[in-house]
């Protein structure tokens, strides 16, 4: 007969996500104690406003890492998306066409990389590295200079906001990011495609023997990541009101760090979109703590993220080892 303590134990797959939320509460609590005005609704809202593009990218990256893959092209696709939108608007395109072109470019590159990975059995690291260079090069084919966005529709979307109770102001980008999180969670947990993604990450050969469409899932996650990168680029262009070939340099590493800190196993098969959202909030909270302090350089953000990333990788390894025993 199973003891009550064993039946009430938290499943191991939830432990990394719980740890992420604990870290977020601890870091935010530290800021609330040390700095006056830190524990305000607007500070929380600013975490979402400043990192809306990163949240969207993290959703796409979660899909990819759940299959055991990786996507190094997301930062470059953010830059490409912003350049397509900015250059298109400068050329007189309507706003909706610039948006569609940016999303289509990201999705098409994701589809291309997914097809190469699946049909030619090339490591995702190599294929997406090539995609990273390709997207970055295309940016500078469009323009080597920063392109300012002066379109009235884009500027209205960038400056538009609405007020929540407590005089908290939130931008439209936050709403889009949270909708992407909700859709991502729905697809992963309530659709056949999502279950196949988890199955591929758990054991691709077993998923194939079960008759699941593993190839479609492997290609599909890179299309989703490409689409999210295109959308993230649009949100980033709204945030910066410009397109530039050097936007998003190193952003892919921040996204991967956020997803891993959010509890998604690099080996694949375990992870949650909500955990990735929490991972982004942890990174944002660390940056906010450093800006409130005023005496520390921004490089401390990288140091803290590196320590957290190592800690969560060790936690992941311990969980995998316990599962294998």
pLDDT tens for the chain, residues 1 to 325: 444 444 447 777 788 889 899 999 999 999 999 998 898 999 999 999 999 999 999 999 999 999 999 999 999 999 999 999 999 999 999 999 999 999 999 999 999 999 999 999 999 999 999 999 999 999 999 999 999 999 999 999 999 998 998 889 999 999 999 999 999 999 999 999 999 999 999 999 999 999 999 999 999 999 999 999 999 999 999 999 999 999 999 999 999 999 999 999 998 999 999 999 999 999 999 999 988 887 777 788 888 888 988 888 888 778 777 766 6
Q: Are 280 and 58 in contact (CB under 8 A)?
A: yes
Q: What is the pLDDT of residues 87-134, one digit of tens each?
A: 999 999 999 999 999 999 999 999 999 999 999 999 999 999 999 999
Instruction: Read off the pTM.
Output: 0.94
| Strand, helix or coil for residue 168 | strand
- Which residue intervals of the chain are DSSP H helices? 4-7, 15-34, 41-50, 52-66, 74-90, 95-120, 124-142, 152-159, 172-190, 192-202, 204-209, 214-240, 251-261, 273-293, 299-324
Residues composing the chain: 325
In angstroms, rounded to a whole number, what is the distance separating the alpha carbons of residues 123 and 108? 19
The closest alpha carbon to 147, from 93, 215, 67, belongs to 93
Tokens linked to 233: 């680029």
* Residue 157: HSE in the Cβ half-sphere, 13 Å Cα cutoff: 20
Q: What is the DSSP letter of 295?
A: S
């Amino acid at each position: 007969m199973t003891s009550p303590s064993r039946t009430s134990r938290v499943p191991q797959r939830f432990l990394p996500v719980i740890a992420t939320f604990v870290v977020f509460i601890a870091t935010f609590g530290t800021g609330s104690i040390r700095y006056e005005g830190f524990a305000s609704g607007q500070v929380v809202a600013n975490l979402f406003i400043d990192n809306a593009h990163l949240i969207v990218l993290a959703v796409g990256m979660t899909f990819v890492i759940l299959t055991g893959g990786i996507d190094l092209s997301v930062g470059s696709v953010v830059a490409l998306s912003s350049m397509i939108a900015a250059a298109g608007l400068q050329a007189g395109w309507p706003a909706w066409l610039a948006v569609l072109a940016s999303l289509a470019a990201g999705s098409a590159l994701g589809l291309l990389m997914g097809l190469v990975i699946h049909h030619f059995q090339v490591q995702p690291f190599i294929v997406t590295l090539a995609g990273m260079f390709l997207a970055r090069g295309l940016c500078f084919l469009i323009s080597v200079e920063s392109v300012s966005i002066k379109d009235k529709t884009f500027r209205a979307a960038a400056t538009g906001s609405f007020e929540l109770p407590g005089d908290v102001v939130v931008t439209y980008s936050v709403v889009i990011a949270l909708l992407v999180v909700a859709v991502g969670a729905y697809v992963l947990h309530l659709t056949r495609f999502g279950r196949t993604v988890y199955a591929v990450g758990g054991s691709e050969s077993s998923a194939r023997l079960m008759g699941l469409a593993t190839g479609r899932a492997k290609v599909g996650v890179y299309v989703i990541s490409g689409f999210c990168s295109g959308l993230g680029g649009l949100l980033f262009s709204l945030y910066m009101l410009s397109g530039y070939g050097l936007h998003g340099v190193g952003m892919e590493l921040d996204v991967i760090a956020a997803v891993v800190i959010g509890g998604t196993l690099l080996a694949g098969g375990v992870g949650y979109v909500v955990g990735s959202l929490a991972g982004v909030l942890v990174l944002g909270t660390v940056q906010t703590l450093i800006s409130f302090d005023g005496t520390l350089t921004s490089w401390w953000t990288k140091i803290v993220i590196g320590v957290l990333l190592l800690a969560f990788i060790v936690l992941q390894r311990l969980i995998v080892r316990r599962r294998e025993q």
